[in-house]
Chain A
């Protein structure tokens, strides 16, 4: 009996010790976790300090006075003028509108141009069916052009030298639109009776510049297009 009693107390002591040890281990674990957390926090703070130092250095090296000096010596940028500010996307789109592309492919037709190109069909290449007609009469095309500009009734006289200036200016303005009706007309009739129907499409194109440009120009005369610019 007494032996059992002493064993029981031993067991009690052992279990108490075990429990205490367990608690101690838990608290030790917590303490070590906390310590490592603090370690991380310290590292974060140290990293922040380094960041701050580096930021300060970058800021000092790239200070505004230095940027200004670079701008003065290299970039030479200046304040935008009032005209460089736009009111929105519409104004931005408007900026691109007047910049018409010079079509090197388009036939540039000069009123005073000589007619030394009987070899190739400059205009009616796309429309193959009238190509035969156009090859036969290139000078007549030029004469049509002149008549379009003046819009006078004495057009049929075909004075090649009579109205050179207006034609030239017109063709520089819109080489594309000027060229396409010519092609069309040559399709219609090699003779130049229909001056009126030709002028109309030109006016239209002028009033509505945003309309898609006709994509059927052809004939390559790059040499002529350069003076037209």
Chain B
């Protein structure tokens, strides 16, 4: 803003013009400069404000994300006491990208074969030369091996942690829990049935609580495995159920399966005999027939007499007994010595329609009601369900059901006559008891207690008794179908029982598939000799865990049956 030098001489007009121009230019320059400065200051202020804002309220660059809660990749499965049965952990995985290998491939193959001897050096070398982009070498690798592989220093080797499904109790309740495939999706058992629940982010934080009691499960599995090995059976199954709620406390199928390596198990081991396998379970059906007859008013009391000849000719067939009475016998005696001839006559009186009605109401004609997807279809006479078939179904032949069906049926018989579907989820606030539907009258249910207790105190089930636990139950031996013919060489033996019989709380079904006779069974392979003793031992192990106190002074009401049992037994 320098003042122009005073014009001593009259300025020339062009000069004057120049001064005016210059002033104008200067003003414009000032304006532009000012504008530029303002823009610059505005930008700076904007940035400064933004920084301040971020500093005060923004997310921090150093903040870690996602670790505020511990949600596993897949939900846990726990037993009713919270004991983990299935968990997802981070396991080390060793893999290789053959294309990225820069070292000597032959040498690498040799080292790998040393560290992981499941494949030979040639196999590793072929794998490296194959040109495929990626291979898993070992999943769930132990830390020592990971360290050794890492020390090879080969950039083509990929060592990473991946979520992996672990079953800490190994084979315990394997058929209930099931297992997952390599992508972590359930393919069997509860893993399959509740795959959505276990993998959904909203629900997988909460473990899936099963009704299984792992201690009871272990006891059942162990005793059953003992019996199975002892009698060289090809398989076995067992179920323990709470008869009031329908909760399955233990369920097993043998041979054992390790779900941690389910792929290594045989098809036979993966097969769930308790819910998928259907078997003719024989005489364990007889209590149902008697209950049907009682509810239909055919049997008024257990003193009712039926003719029990040595063999019964009916509808062009012959029914035999293992211990024929050869005299008139009471209902109590029929049940005590498991007479087919007597039961066949009772079933005949019940009739096919009523028999089907009751079986349907107990769920015997449908796949067993449980959460698992592995459920077998009942085999029935179907359209050939005539009078003779009614007789055979009455004593458990000609109809094949799962062991879980049988357990549910016994629960129905002894919980007061109400059918409730079995469940593998713990009953609680989130999973209340199903109201159920009435099948048998309460009176029938009550009277049957004495009848089945009689079988164990003095009938075919004597060896299944565990002193003080008031077991009531029924043996069952059914011949297996081989090439379309029943053969006595191979049998399925089962025992279905309830304890304590004076106030029934738990039902247990144990079954052996094709047990062989041994020296101490005197050549017999019937249920009384093999599964019976195992049943008693299992009850004496699990009953204290389930809160059942042994008491030798208590017995159920036997006044309805004892007067009708003659001392003279048929010869054994």
Contact = CB atoms under 8 A, between A and B. Distances in A.
A27 B68 contact: no
Interface in A48-88: 48-49, 52-53, 55-56, 59-60, 63-65, 68, 79-83, 85
Contacts of B550: 81-82, 85
Contact of A24 (B55, B62, B549): B55
B441 interface: no
Contacts of B83: 59
Interface string B162-193: 00001011111000000000000000000000
Given A35-B60, A53-B89, A79-B537, A68 B469 contact: no
Interface stretch (B214-222, B365-373, B420-428, B452-460): B214-222
Given A53-B89, A60-B166, A81 B56 contact: no
B435 to A, nearest CB: 34
A-B complex: 7 closest residue pairs judged by Cβ atoms: A82-B468, A82-B550, A27-B56, A64-B218, A60-B168, A79-B541, A59-B168
A118 to B, nearest CB: 55
A28 interface: yes
B55 A27 contact: yes
Nearest to B221: A65
B172 A65 contact: yes
A61 B60 CA distance: 43
A38 interface: yes
A42 interface: yes
Contact of B63 (A24, A35, A52): A35
A52 B69 CA distance: 13
Nearest to B58: A31
A68 B68 contact: no
Contacts of A42: 64, 67-68
Given A56-B89, A80-B544, A82-B468, A45 B69 contact: yes
A24 B52 contact: yes
Nearest to B60: A35
Given A60-B168, A65-B218, 14 more contacts: A24-B55, A35-B62, A38-B63, A42-B67, A45-B67, A46-B67, A56-B84, A59-B84, A59-B169, A60-B169, A63-B168, A65-B170, A83-B468, A85-B549
A110 B370 CA distance: 74
Contacts of B89: 52-53, 56
B384 interface: no
B151 interface: no
Task: Tell me whether chain A's interface is mostly helix, strand or loop, or mixed.
Answer: helix
B15 interface: no
18 contacts: A27-B56, A38-B63, A39-B64, A42-B64, A45-B69, A59-B84, A63-B170, A64-B215, A65-B169, A68-B218, A79-B544, A80-B540, A80-B544, A81-B467, A81-B468, A82-B466, A82-B552, A85-B550
A28 B70 CA distance: 29
B110 interface: no
B70 A52 contact: yes
Given A24-B56, A35-B63, A38-B63, A64 B172 contact: yes
B140 interface: no
Interface in B84-102: 84, 87, 89-90
B467 to A, nearest CB: 5
Contact of B166 (A20, A23, A56, A79): A56
A31 B166 CA distance: 40
B540 A79 contact: yes
A188 interface: no
B522 interface: no
B311 interface: no
B315 interface: no
Interface of A: 20, 23-24, 27-28, 31, 35, 38-39, 41-42, 45-46, 48-49, 52-53, 55-56, 59-60, 63-65, 68, 79-83, 85
Given A42-B68, A52-B70, A64 B55 contact: no
Nearest to A28: B55
A45 B467 contact: no
Contacts of B69: 45
A165 B70 CA distance: 80
A41 B60 CA distance: 16
Contact size range, B? 35 or more
Interface string B20-48: 00000000000000000000000000000
Contact of B551 (A63, A68, A82): A82
Nearest to A39: B64
B550 to A, nearest CB: 3
A64 B169 contact: yes
A45 B70 contact: yes
Nearest to A61: B168
A82 B55 CA distance: 73
B221 to A, nearest CB: 8
Interface in B532-568: 537, 540-541, 544, 549-552
Contacts of A24: 52, 55-56
B41 to A, nearest CB: 14
B229 to A, nearest CB: 13
Nearest to A30: B56
A67 to B, nearest CB: 8
Interface string B463-501: 000111100000000000000000000000000000000
Contact of A63 (B60, B172, B540): B172
A129 B544 CA distance: 61
Given A35-B62, A79-B537, A41 B68 contact: yes
A179 to B, nearest CB: 38
Nearest to B222: A68
A56 B90 CA distance: 11
A39 B68 CA distance: 10
Nearest to A66: B170
Nearest to B214: A64
B516 to A, nearest CB: 23
B205 to A, nearest CB: 12
Nearest to A53: B89
A49 B544 contact: no
A31 B60 contact: yes
Q: Which interface residue of A46, A56, A83 has the most chain B CB atoms within 10 A?
A: A56
A82 B538 CA distance: 14
A79 B222 CA distance: 13
Contacts of A48: 70
Contacts of A64: 169, 172, 214-215, 217-218
Contacts of B467: 81-82
